[in-house]
């Protein structure tokens, strides 16, 4: 676990990775380690949101997985499939996309709730 946090800190400070890549790798590795008997998913999502706050300005909800109206169960299914791709197949493209889209949708939701309107 310490190694994961050290490598994540190093990746963010060196700037060799894009923020969403660092977040994707952290999420997949943390959940693979599975350090707690319960609450690993929630803890991982909170930690990823904390990692991203410097880049996103708002907390990121990873269950905002698509702009299409998915049910909570469908969103969870997408999340688990994307996580499988990253952890087992070492393909982070879909997880990167999920994090980017979740970031966009979280920011959009934040602005809607603030009632910030486009002055056009």
Q: Which residues are catalytic?
A: 34
Residue count of the chain, please give it.
Answer: 120
Beta strands in 1-120 (DSSP E): none
DSSP state of 34: -
CA dist., res. 79 & res. 43, Å (int): 15
CA dist., res. 68 & res. 88, Å (int): 27
| 14-21 contact pairs (CB < 8 A, 24+) | 19/51, 19/52, 19/54, 19/55, 20/96, 20/99, 20/100, 20/103, 21/92, 21/96
């Amino acid at each position: 676990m310490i190694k994961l946090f050290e490598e994540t800190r190093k990746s963010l400070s060196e700037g060799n990775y894009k923020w969403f890549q660092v977040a994707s790798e952290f999420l997949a590795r943390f959940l693979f380690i599975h350090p707690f008997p319960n609450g690993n998913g929630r803890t991982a999502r909170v930690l990823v949101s904390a990692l991203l706050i410097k880049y996103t300005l708002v907390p990121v909800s990873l269950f905002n997985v698509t702009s299409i109206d998915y049910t909570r169960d469908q969103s969870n299914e997408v999340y688990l499939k994307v996580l499988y791709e990253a952890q087992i197949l070492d393909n982070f493209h879909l997880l990167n996309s999920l994090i980017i889209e979740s970031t966009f949708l979280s920011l959009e939701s934040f602005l809607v709730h603030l009632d910030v309107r486009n002055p056009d």
